Structure 1
Amino acid sequence: MDRKKKIYLAGPLFSHAELEYNRKLRDLLLNKGFLVFLPQEDAEDCTEEREKQNQEHIFRKCVEGLDNSDIVVAVLDGADVDSGTAWEIGYAYAKEKPVIGLRTDFRSLSDGVVNLMVEMAIVALARDENELLKTMERFR
């Protein structure tokens, strides 16, 4: 039996809309047979926990999640990529883990889709959830 691939889902998690979108993506990926590490839940990264725990605890749980993942899916929406997401992309790149970007935002920079360093660190870029799921088939 094949081992299920584990995805680390990187993305902003500071608004209700971002939190809900992350959960939607997690559920889509789970339904496709992947395991998913969702930092906002699996690293207990939320306002209440930030008040109860120190930042180092959340950081360590996220690094552990990245280390134990096979693939990173990174939400790249916004005028600029979320700084935490950019760090997670760089860390995954350094660990030679494939990073798949998801950018549903139609805005782009004059010289690329996202920041050059982020764009060069990803192995594929999907423009919507359906394209992401099709891309993920290559990584089963």
Structure 2
Amino acid sequence: MTRVNTQHPQVYLAGPWFNAGEPERLAQLESLMDELRISYYSPRLDGIDLTPDATDADRDAVFADNTEHLKAAQLVLAVVDDYDTGTIWETGMAFGREIPVAYYAETLKDGVTFNVMLAKSAVAVLQNRDQARIFLQDPTTDRFAYHGAIR
């Protein structure tokens, strides 16, 4: 099975992979979707690699590739533990295009506040892999709507 497959619901996996722990967190979600046989697009795995010395043409290609796949997505699953600005931009674009957004935040524990704009734009706020598994198997569930502390 390929990750990008229009015959299955497509998830766009947004999230950073630039700092310690970030690639591993994305890899766990990629592995989960592979296990569940969910078609997804991961810029980390499927996108164009952008290097610090990239040309404007390279940057344009990355932007076009990511936005094309984002626009085609039926769901955006976004890792927001580190509030990466690119990830936040992708979720805003998805919400504006009426693509459901689920946030994945392992660092969101009881009593920790969550951003009001993210909380109100979410169809789900997931705090661990088990919740992600349940949600991805039924992305219509409202079981993971956010009701915690907001800032």
TM-score by length of 2: 0.77
Q: Any conservation in 1 of the 2:105–2:127 contact (CA below 8 Å)?
A: yes
Pairing 1:51–2:54 present? yes
C-alpha separation between the residues in 2 aligned to 1:65 and 1:109? Answer: 35
C-alpha separation between the residues in 1 aligned to 2:43 and 2:118? Answer: 20
Q: Which moved more, 1:51-60 or 1:96-105?
A: 51-60
Runs of 4 or more consecutive aligned structure 1 residues displaced over 4 Å after TM superposition = 107-110
Cα RMSD (Å): 2.3
Higher relative contact order (CA 8 A, sep 6+): 1
- Aligned to 1:125, the other structure's residue is in SS state strand
Paired residues, number: 133
Task: Name whichever structure is richer in helix by fraction.
Answer: 1
Q: Any conservation in 1 of the 2:50–2:58 contact (CA below 8 Å)?
A: no
C-alpha separation between the residues in 1 aligned to 2:62 and 2:118? Answer: 23
Shift of the alpha carbon at 1:109?
8.6
Structure 2: give runs of 5+ residues left out of the alignment. 1-6, 141-151
Taking only the aligned residue pairs, the percentage that are identical comes to 26
Q: Any conservation in 1 of the 2:12–2:75 contact (CA below 8 Å)?
A: yes
Specify which of 77, 98, 113 is matched with residue 100 of structure 2.
Answer: 98
C-alpha separation between the residues in 1 aligned to 2:126 and 2:109? Answer: 14
